[in-house]
Amino acid sequence: MKITPMRALVATTTIALSLAMLSGCSNGTQTGGDQPAAGAKDGAATIGLLLPDNVTERYASADKPYFEKKVKELCADCTVLYANADGDAAKQQQQAESMLTQGVDVLVLDPFDGKAAAAVVNQAKAKNVPVISYDRLIDSADVSYYVSFDNEKVGELQAQALVDQMKKLGLPADSGIIMVNGSPTDPNAAQFKKGAHSVIDASGLTVLSEFDTPGWEPPKAQDWVSGQVTQFGDKITGVYDANDDTAGGAIAALKAGGITPLPPVTGQDASLAGIQRILAGDQFMTVYKAFLPEANQAAELAVALAKGEKPKADTTADTASGASIPSFLLKPVAVTVDNIKDTVVKDGLYTIDQICTAAYADACAAHGLK
């Protein structure tokens, strides 16, 4: 489907800059695992991994460790430099500039802001450093590859699950819902919303209001939903929510506002907290995007590019400005209480023990998770 939406030694001043950034905690880059320091020779490569924020659970728990592990398996002498932007586009650019100064061979960049990150691609191009756009598509024609999921399909899965569940509950065809969308700076969020609207707009449901959540921050989602509860009360019979973290905020607001029973609420990312809320009956569904194959694909591409290879992509995806980028797009999966065991548990994302803590033991037993 086509989606539209050191090796040289580092100078003394560069070393000083790197040390200063490292001392700034999350503002700096870190060498992944126990791999050799940047500047390794004899065919070794240095790969930069830049992730966008710390509010999304998956980045620290899945993407980073999976990526580092795969790079090490493929290239024992390679180095991974890592940085997290903490939801700050300017900070991410500084981190990328630092990595380019240190002489990275490849950048794997998950942009906090898809448009702002085009400046990083331009700087990398000037140094002949290829950029892999990871999970979110950078709005630049000079991106070498894009690795992600079919993001419009994610929105379609969420919305279809919501529509089907509301019908199952016997709610009127024109029932009211609210939509808690993703960050306005995240290019994926626009695709999630587009996919969701393609289903919701044809369903007859009434969208009472919708909100683009700055930075995907749960407290902002919670505050907005609180206001909607005050305004609409029990007219809210369903909630389209773009990911699990903001869904947690929405659910907290619904509970605080006395909305009972809770309406079906969607999510995404199959976070541990999201899976547990699904078991408890607070959240209806999530979308599972298998982070391991996504991270592995990005690692394989990064190592190949560092070796001067140019792998053939499976398909293409269009940037916001219409440029066609060679892409690898994985398939998302809808998860409800009925298929937790056959998805996130089967794939090893979580163990039964991790999911079924004391607070969720009864719910796990009721749904055959043991």
CB-count exposure of residue 342 (10 Å: 0-12, 13-18, 19+): exposed
Q: In this predicted structure, what is the pLDDT of residue 30?
A: 60
How large is the average pLDDT for residues 202-208? 97
What is the rounded average pLDDT for all residues in the chain?
89
Of the listed ranges 16-30, 41-55, 276-290, the least confidently predicted one is 16-30
Q: Which residues, other chains included, contact 145 with Cβ-Cβ below 8 Å and sequence gap of 6+?
A: 130, 132, 133, 301, 305, 311, 313, 325, 326, 327, 328
Of the listed ranges 134-138, 185-189, 218-222, the least confidently predicted one is 185-189
Domain spanning 151-289+333-366: CATH superfamily: Response regulator (3.40.50.2300)
Residue 348 phi, psi dihedral angles, 5° rounding: 80, 15
Q: In this predicted structure, what is the pLDDT of residue 33?
A: 40
Q: In this predicted structure, what is the pLDDT of residue 29?
A: 56
Cα–Cα distance list, 8 to 44, 105, 122, 347 (Å): 12, 11, 21, 41
How large is the average pLDDT for residues 195-217? 97
Residue 2 binned pLDDT confidence (cut-offs 50, 70, 90) = very low
CA distance 84 to 88: 9
Helix (H, G, I), strand (E, B) or coil at 81: strand
pLDDT over 60 at 37, yes or no: no
12-149+290-330: CATH topology is: Rossmann fold (3.40.50)
Q: In this predicted structure, what is the pLDDT of residue 161?
A: 98
Tokens of 272: 């541990």
% pLDDT > 70, the chain? 88
pLDDT over 70 at 4, yes or no: no
CA distance 134 to 121: 13
Residue 43 binned pLDDT confidence (cut-offs 50, 70, 90) = low
| Dihedral-angle region of residue 11 (phi above 0 means left; psi in -120 to 50 means alpha; beta otherwise) | beta
Residue 370 binned pLDDT confidence (cut-offs 50, 70, 90) = confident
The reply to whether 151-289+333-366 shares the fold of 12-149+290-330 is yes
Q: Break the chain into its structural domains and give their ranges.
A: 12-149+290-330, 151-289+333-366
CB-count exposure of residue 62 (10 Å: 0-12, 13-18, 19+): buried
- Residue 203 DSSP code: T
How large is the average pLDDT for residues 29-58? 68
Helix (H, G, I), strand (E, B) or coil at 11: coil
Which residues is 288 bridged to in the sheet?
333
CA distance 147 to 301: 9
Q: In this predicted structure, what is the pLDDT of residue 41?
A: 39
pLDDT over 80 at 183, yes or no: yes
Helix (H, G, I), strand (E, B) or coil at 348: coil
Short-list 359, 343, 320, 319, CA closest to 143 = 319
Residue 15 binned pLDDT confidence (cut-offs 50, 70, 90) = very low
Q: In this predicted structure, what is the pLDDT of residue 351?
A: 95
Give the pLDDT confidence of 342-367 residue by residue, as tens digits. 999 998 889 999 999 999 999 999 99
Give the pLDDT confidence of 120-163 residue by residue, as tens digits. 999 999 999 999 999 999 999 999 999 999 999 999 999 999 99
